[in-house]
């Protein structure tokens, strides 16, 4: 099994060796959250590191990741570095590891510094009494608008993938789960559709539409009507997929 490891340039050889040893012993560390992918927080030299172990892909993707496509770990690492250079918040990237052989792709890991935060966007969908709620939601919308202006299309813009940290009277935002992103000019429909996975609540869509209209100069009604339509379409497809999966994969239940 061939081991591929890529580190950020600011790391010493001694630290790289510690990271390598940590990955070799990943299964022996306690804790871990996640179903498909496993995340563990491991302290090295006083710094908490977030290690994401990606699930071994299916046979087709094992071949694809081995020969034709970049792995999720590599994309996460490269996109994190790119976002950092573009001034977009994301936990500091440290390294990624991959294991390959002649027959296909195996395990892969992405390592970043653990970022302290107050909430994720998901909490906003559940607690409407959260302190300074309206300002947080509007600040998040401005953050998303800036992503679009920087030609960043975060394809996994979903409730758990933005960390929110209060900084005095302002808020800082950090993107996580980075392996699906595009970097290109975004048209109006693509921008608004990017909000479709975030919430089921019309009141939140109204606030985000209002703030996005202020940022972009676009008509509020045009934004709201499209954002709500895309939100409803996403929910319909999501629950239809769950129903079909439950029906046809009943034997797994």
Evaluate whether 2-113 and 119-242 have a shared fold.
no
Question: Hey, which CATH number is domain 2-113, 1.10.8, 3.30.110, 3.30.200, 3.30.1490?
Answer: 3.30.200
Residue 200's pLDDT is 95
CA angle 126, 211, 203 (to 5 degrees): 35
What is the Cα–Cα distance from 74 to 83, expressed in whole angstroms?
A: 14
Class assignment of domain 119-242? mainly alpha
Residue 244's pLDDT is 61
- The answer to whether 98 and 108 have CB atoms below 8 angstroms apart is yes
pLDDT digits 0-9 by tens, 162-212? 999 999 989 999 999 999 999 999 999 999 999 999 999 999 999 999 999
Q: Which of these ranges, 15-19, 64-68, 234-238, 247-251, has the smallest mean pLDDT?
A: 247-251
More confident residue, 38 or 100: 38
pLDDT digits 0-9 by tens, 122-174? 999 999 999 999 999 999 999 999 999 999 999 999 999 999 999 998 999 99
Domain extent listing, the chain: 2-113, 119-242
With residue 44 as reference, give the H or E element that holds it: strand 38-44
Percent of the chain, pLDDT > 70? 92
DSSP, residue by residue, 219-245: -HHHHHHHHHHHHHHHHHHHHHHHHHH
What is the Cα–Cα distance from 18 to 119, expressed in whole angstroms?
A: 31
């Amino acid at each position: 099994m061939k081991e591929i490891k890529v580190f950020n340039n600011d790391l010493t050889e001694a630290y790289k060796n510690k990271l390598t040893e940590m990955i070799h012993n990943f299964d022996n560390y306690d804790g871990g959250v996640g179903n498909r992918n496993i995340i563990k927080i491991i302290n090295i030299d006083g710094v908490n590191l977030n290690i994401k172990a990606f699930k071994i892909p299916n046979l087709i993707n094992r071949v694809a990741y081995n020969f034709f496509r970049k792995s999720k770990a590599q994309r996460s690492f490269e996109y994190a570095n790119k976002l950092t250079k573009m001034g977009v918040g994301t936990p500091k990237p440290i390294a990624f590891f991959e294991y390959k052989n002649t027959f296909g792709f195996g395990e892969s890991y992405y390592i970043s510094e653990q970022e302290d935060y107050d909430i994720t966007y998901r909490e906003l969908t559940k607690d409407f009494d959260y302190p300074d709620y309206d300002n947080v939601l509007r600040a998040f919308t401005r953050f998303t608008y800036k992503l679009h202006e920087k030609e960043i299309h975060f394809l996994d813009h979903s409730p758990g993938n933005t960390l929110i940290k209060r900084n005095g009277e302002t808020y800082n935002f950090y993107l996580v789960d980075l392996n699906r992103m595009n970097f290109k000019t975004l048209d109006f429909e693509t921008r608004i559709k990017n909000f479709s996975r975030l919430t089921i609540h019309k009141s939140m869509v109204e606030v985000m539409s209002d703030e996005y209209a202020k940022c972009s100069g676009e008509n509020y009604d045009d934004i709201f009507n499209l954002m709500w339509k895309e939100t409803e379409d996403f929910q319909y497809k999501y629950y239809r997929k769950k129903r079909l999966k439950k029906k046809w994969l009943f034997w797994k239940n």
